[in-house]
Each structure stands twice: as structure tokens, then as C-alpha cells.
Structure 1
Amino acid sequence: MTKSPPLSDAQISEIIEMALSDHVSFAAITAQYGVSADQVKAIMRGNLKPGSYRAWRKRVREFGDRRENYK
């Protein structure tokens, strides 16, 4: 995994908010902040409670299976 650019607390908060949204793709987050999908997942894992992270990943995977251009 590549090193993510230095991010402020406010930027991390915005990334988390975007990632939790069902309407924002990883590509959009990458375009805005320069972090990869794996880096977004690492940010989410480090900032959410374990159960919240697992629920988010499950939702992203299930939604992604239904819609090809999603996360």
C-alpha cells in the first residue's frame, strides 16, 4: 500500500463522511483527496468502531455487487 498524503483531521472527517455516503464512490474520494480505495478503507478501519467498520464494509460490498460503478 502506498503512503497517503498528509491529511488534516478535517480532511479525514470529510473522507469518512464521503465514504459513509451511499452516493460517493471511491473514485470520487481519490479524485478529491488523492487517497486510494485501500487507503480509504484503512482510514475507516482506524476511525470507526470495529462493528461499525464491518457493517460499512458489508454494505459497500453488497451495494457494489448490485451496481458495477459503486465502491
Structure 2
Amino acid sequence: MTIQTSKSLSEADLSRLIEMAWEDRTPFDAIEQNFGLSEPQVIAVMRSELKRSSFNLWRKRVTGRSTKHVALRSKLVTRAYCTTQYKHKS
């Protein structure tokens, strides 16, 4: 993937993609379903959009994390995020 792919996303979509990538419970499969980007493509976007130290911290955090990879997840986990994660405005 090239940086061009991240530039083709709107600012709001790019922001949401980065947010989803940082979330522990959001698997790469959910990101691919929402944005059409595979895990290597998400890594490339994160590399191009984050400072080097932030990217390194993120990579260390997500590498091998079972919640980021559906194949490694427990079959008991049926959602991508905590039920209290998104607060709805009334």
C-alpha cells in the first residue's frame, strides 16, 4: 500500500480508522470490513500518519494481541467493542 491510499480517505474516515486501530477490541477484520484495508494496509497507514515513536508503541501493542485478530480471539467474544465505549448523546 502506498501513502496515496491514506490520502484518498476523508479526514473523518482517516481519524476513525486510526481510532479503530488503537482500540484493543477492534479486530483488523472489522477495519477491513469498514474501510476495505487489509492488516498490512492499516499498518502502512499507521506508519505514514503517526509519529515514529507512536507507531512503534502501537505496533508493540497490537502485535500478537488476540483481540486484534479474529482467528486468535475466544469464540465467546462476539462484539468488537465494549458496550460502554460509545456514548450516545441525547
- TM-score bracket, normalised by the shorter chain, equals 0.7 to 0.9
Structure with higher Rg: it is: 2
Amino acid at match of 2:34: Q
Secondary structure of 1:22's partner?
Answer: coil
In the superposition, the TM-score normalised over structure 2's length comes to 0.64
Unaligned 5+ runs, structure 1: none
Residue in structure 1 matching 2:36, options 34, 37, 43:
34
What is the identity percentage for the equivalent residue pairs of Structure 1 and Structure 2? 43
Q: Which residue of 2 aligns with 1:21?
A: 23
Secondary structure of 2:37's partner?
Answer: coil
Amino acid at match of 1:26: F
> What is the aligned length?
67
Deviations 1:10-64 (A, max 9, x none): 1111000000000101000000111111111111111111011011101111424
Q: Partners in 1 of 2:43 and 2:29 — Cα distance?
A: 13
Residue in structure 1 matching 2:62, options 54, 60, 67:
60
> Which consecutive segments of 4 or more residues in structure 1 shift more than 6 A?
none
Q: In the TM superposition, what are the counterparts of 1:44-55 in structure 2 within 5 Å?
A: 44-55=46-57
